[in-house]
Amino acid sequence: MNAALSLEALPTLPSVQRLLQRVHPLRLVGAVVLVRQHGVLCHASATGLADRESTTPMRRDQLFRLASVSKPLLTTVILRLVADGVLALDAPVQRWLPDFRPALADGRRPAISLRQLLSHSSGLGYRFLEADADGPYARAGVSDGMDANPLTLAENVRRIAQAPLLFEPGSQWMYSLGVDVAGALAEAATGETLQVLFERLLATPLGLRETAFFTRDATRLATPYVTDTPQPHRLQEGEVVAPFEGTVGIAYSLARATDASRFPSAGAGLVGTADEVMAVLEALRDVPASGLLPPALAAQMGTPQVAEQGPPEPEGWGFGLGFAVLRDAAASGTPQRVGTWRWGGAYGHSWFVDPARGLSVVALTNTLYEGMDGAFVDELRDAVYADLEGIR
């Protein structure tokens, strides 16, 4: 482990520590949890096991398959291109992807904006959210960015365009492959690969050394597990697990994370560490200090883009650019303040930023779906606020 990390990993929050002791090993096999308040590290822990079968302990510098934790990172890359004038949030994406013209059920092919792609209001969907294994995304052979499909990014976007739009762009919210399409748009507009753009526009400015679309060191990756009884079971290559009832589920390819030939999924494809995810969130929380984005553009990330529409659960959340945004704390039943950002990742991750309190929390686990939307997520939130009671 990096010496600087091990020295900094001293502070812990007692309620958070007690929670982590309770959840291992039957609810979470392993976890890395970081908490920063006004930039100061308040908690850093690596608990449980990175691999249960070999009893390998979790490390703070463990690599994780980030899944949808990729979304705010790649959204930031794309918004840096907006800040540079290379892209425009409200211009039709067909300016850069002229063949991307999915149709509505009535045959019309409306314009779709970059803003709509990033806010999940474009009319696109996800294959794993279809109720039918023979749904339109499945029939088109679309990849959600976490399976073993050998498509190129351009071919996947072409297939996405073959499926009908689910609604008029801008009129509704639905979680989608919009960020993947936005990644293809960024490649088309710049002539650079998404990996090169990620390195140039995010990794280098923030000093990220571990985060990329694949790793050559499989031994650094945390082994993923699936919530089960009496204990989580080890996720198998190609196993399909549904995150929500009534959906066909995600086909997980563990090998994808070590295969450089797989297309870079802007919405789900990164591998990285908790500290580097935290570095990005902190840079977004304090853009005047980081200079990562113009403040006005960063503010749009934290502004609901589709009126009051957003994720159906929990209540009170809308969606900005790259993550959910708290609109109504009372409706959500949360101690977080209005304007808080949050999201997660299907391999078992959650994070949130409460800008009003200068608070950033990252929890990367190796247990799906408990670590993404199980009881642990709210338990961790409440433990953090209990330990930092009275923070301003």
Q: Which two tokens stand for residue 345?
A: 């990742």
320: in domain: yes
pLDDT at residue number 390: 57
pLDDT at residue number 312: 87
With contact defined as beta carbons under 8 Å apart, do 203 and 292 qualify?
no
The H or E element spanning position 363 is strand 359-365
Structurally, how many domains does the chain consist of? Answer: 1
CATH code: domain of residue 294? 3.40.710.10
Per the residue annotation, which of 6, 15, 45, 68 is the catalytic one?
Answer: 68
Does residue 68 carry a catalytic annotation?
yes
121: in domain: no
pLDDT at residue number 172: 96
pLDDT tens profile 243-262? 988 999 999 999 999 999 99
Q: Record the pTM.
A: 0.96
DSSP-derived secondary structure for 319-383: E-SSSEEES-HHHHT-SSPTT-EEEEETTTEEEEEEGGGTEEEEEEESEETHHHHSHHHHHHHHH
pLDDT at residue number 313: 86
301: in domain: yes
Residues of the chain where predicted confidence (pLDDT) is lower than 70 = 1-9, 390-392
pLDDT at residue number 14: 96
51: which residues sit within 8 A by CB, 6+ positions away? 222, 223
288: in domain: yes
374: in domain: yes
253: in domain: no
- Domain with 374, as residue range(s), is 3-63+207-226+274-387
The H or E element spanning position 271 is strand 271-272
pLDDT at residue number 7: 41
164: in domain: no
pLDDT at residue number 96: 97
153: in domain: no
pLDDT tens profile 161-175? 999 999 999 999 999
